[in-house]
Structure formats: C-alpha cells, structure tokens
Amino acid sequence: MTTPQGQFATLVVEGRAFFIGDLHGERRQLSQLLNQVNFAPEMGDRVICVGDLIDRGQDSLACLDLLEMPWFYCVLGNHEAMLMDALSGDQENLNSWLRCGGKWYLDLDEPTQRAMMVKAERLLPALPFGLEVQIPALDARIGVVHADCPGDSWDAFREACQYPLNRFQQFDCLWSRDVLREMGKGEYPEPLPGIDALVMGHTPLQNLRSHGNRVWLDTGAGYPQGRLSLLNAEQILELVR
C-alpha cells in the first residue's frame, strides 16, 4: 500500500478530547453527537477519529472535508488506504476500493470526482498510522490506531514508526482483528505497556468494548442498524481503570 508521509503523530489537547469510532460517511451523526456535548473548538476541544472516514454512509465527501478542520484529527484506516492505492491509477486497486464501499464515487459527476481525487491525494498521505493524544489536565496519554497496535508495547510501536513500517506492521495497524478473535476464544491480552489507553476501531460491534487498557469504538456507523459512538477522554480512562 501507499505509505503515509508521517507514520506517527502526537497531539496535545488543552480542552476536551472526544474520540469517535469509524465514521464511514455519517457526517450528520457526528454533528448531532457534537451538539449534544456542546462541542467548543474555540475552547480547545478536539475530535479524534480511529479512521475509516469514508465509504458506506450517506456523505463521504463531507467526511473527507473534516480533514481540513483544525479541530479534527484522524489516523489512517483501511478504507483511506484503499483509496490512496486507487489514486495510483491501477484499475485493480480502484475496483477493490469500489467493491469495499467506494461506489459512492461513481455517483459523483466527473468534475466532482476529479476534485475529490485531488483533495484525497493532498490530505490522505498526511494521516498517521498511530496517534498519541496527550491531555495535560488529566495527566494522561491515549494512543489511537485503526485496527491494532503492532509490537509488544506502545513505545516499541512509536520507535518503529521512525522507519517505514513493514507490510506486517501495516497490516496490524489497518486490518488486524487478532486480539478480538482471541478474546472470542477466551484468550484475553495483558494491557499494552507504555500508554494509559489504546483506542481502536475497524471491527463493527453492537456495543463498544473494552478490556485491560484497550477500547474498541466501532459500533457500525454506515450500516443500517449501526451508529456512531463518541466518548470523551474521561470516559475512555474510566473504562480502562
């Protein structure tokens, strides 16, 4: 896949930090949730998404536009990665993305298609695989990846991101469901060292789930019976205590 320009990023939040699951085109649901919490970006509030902004839902274009908002932050999801690969001009990559939820692109008129591709080519390579959210008021650090954190600790992952991640590490970040699969068999992981909480998405669940210091936030936005989940940093930390 196409490698992002910066594989790891750090964000310091002075206001409230709100974490959301896979958005999948549901811009309206996000607006409703932010209204409910009186979201105030002018006071330092920020939104952090676990990736998969686009595909499946009602308005992927509007969700892509969020990347230009100064209060919105996101890690790379597998759907953004597929779109980045489609930008290469390879027909097989384009067809793969269309099959996995990108058919909304075909509903756009040609000028809008071109404009969207130009915007995606500019914005998506800046999305990191990993994001560390530092919240001084809570003396807390919350890690964010789309699917899973490769390696045995958050520190090891951060150090690995100083060099191009190999395809196995990239797969873990974007596609892995190994931890949830093992939990389904009764095998529960130890907390991930080096971070207070790790927030992930990728696997749609009926309800958000947590174990140790891991939290999964994808509750199926973009699917008919799904919804977008939003938690603030205090709620995340309460789940992992």
Catalytic residue positions, numbered: 79
d(CA 167, CA 193): 23
- Planar angle of CA 111, 112, 118, nearest 5 degrees: 95
The full length of the chain comes to 241
d(CA 204, CA 206): 7
SS3 per residue for 52-93: CCCCCCCCHHHHHHHHHCCCEEECCCHHHHHHHHHCCCCHHH
Q: How crowded is residue 186: how many other Cβ atoms within 10 Å of its Cβ?
A: 6
Would you give the end-to-end CA distance of the chain in angstroms? 36
